[in-house]
Structure 1
Amino acid sequence: MKYSLLRPFVNRIFTPGKEQQQLVQRNQNEFGMVKTNAGQSAILLRFVSWISGREQIEQHFSRFGKIKETLMFYDRVTGMHRGFAVVHFISPQSAAQAIQHKPHIIDNKLLAVTYHTPPETRRKTN
């Protein structure tokens, strides 16, 4: 009885649907993360599942073009994945195709994909 009451909520959490896609899009627009950087060949992946590995990410995004490098970021203390990654493509067209093609779902998790801005080129807000 207890589990049957939770089933709609569990399905809602783990099944990326239209509402979750709209939430990601709204957050990207709200925080200014939708960019059109024509010359950039790197993309930032957010909301990456902690069970996802480099091979899964490269396999998913290799259909858009050749990948030069995939960077995964880990917590120093726990050694666990921090939930974001950067994929560097050889050509900027591949990055643009990857951003335009949505949704990206790896390990039943909807990823937010934007252009990656290296720290040294980010605009200072202070």
Structure 2
Amino acid sequence: MHISVALRRNINRPVVFVRRIPWTASGQLKEHFAQFGHVRRCILHFDKTTGFHRGLGWVQFSSEEEVRNVLQQENHIIDGVKLQPS
């Protein structure tokens, strides 16, 4: 399983959109991306019925440079799942 990472902008704030996040990795998302810069916040979309996140999330950084650092890195791995920037 691969996790796609794509650059998004939200009111001029640098944000990375992450798909296919393993359901076991919600607590590790911020920790993983913090190695690339200051993570302002992480948002996961949860299913109201199951209580599990849907494998989609947003990671907001402080700068564009931090987002570029994420997108340039090729080996993003959380819980054994390789993330691939797109």
TM interval, short-chain normalised: 0.7 to 0.9
2:67 maps to which residue?
95
2:76 maps to which residue?
104
Q: Aligned with 1:62: secondary structure?
A: helix
The change in CA–CA distance for 1:67 and 1:75 in structure 2 (over 3 A counts) is same
Higher-RCO chain (CA-CA 8 Å, sequence separation at least 6): 2
Q: 1:111: Cα distance to partner?
A: 2.2
Q: 1:40: Cα distance to partner?
A: 5.6
The change in CA–CA distance for 1:70 and 1:41 in structure 2 (over 3 A counts) is same
Q: 1:34: Cα distance to partner?
A: 6.6
Contact 1:72 1:84 in 2 (8 A): yes
Q: 1:61: Cα distance to partner?
A: 0.7
Identity score, percent: 27
Give the one of 22, 25, 31 matched to 1:52.
25
Structure 1: gaps of 5 or more residues: 1-12, 14-19, 115-126
Q: 1:103: Cα distance to partner?
A: 2.1
Q: Aligned with 2:23: secondary structure?
A: coil
**Aligned residue pairs: how many?**
83
The change in CA–CA distance for 1:34 and 1:80 in structure 2 (over 3 A counts) is closer
Structure number having the greater helix percentage: 1
- Supply the AA of the counterpart residue of 1:99: L
The change in CA–CA distance for 1:67 and 1:34 in structure 2 (over 3 A counts) is closer
Structure 2: gaps of 5 or more residues: none
TM-score (norm 2): 0.80
**What's the RMSD between the two structures over aligned residues?**
2.6
Runs of 4+ in structure 1 over 2 Å off: 111-114
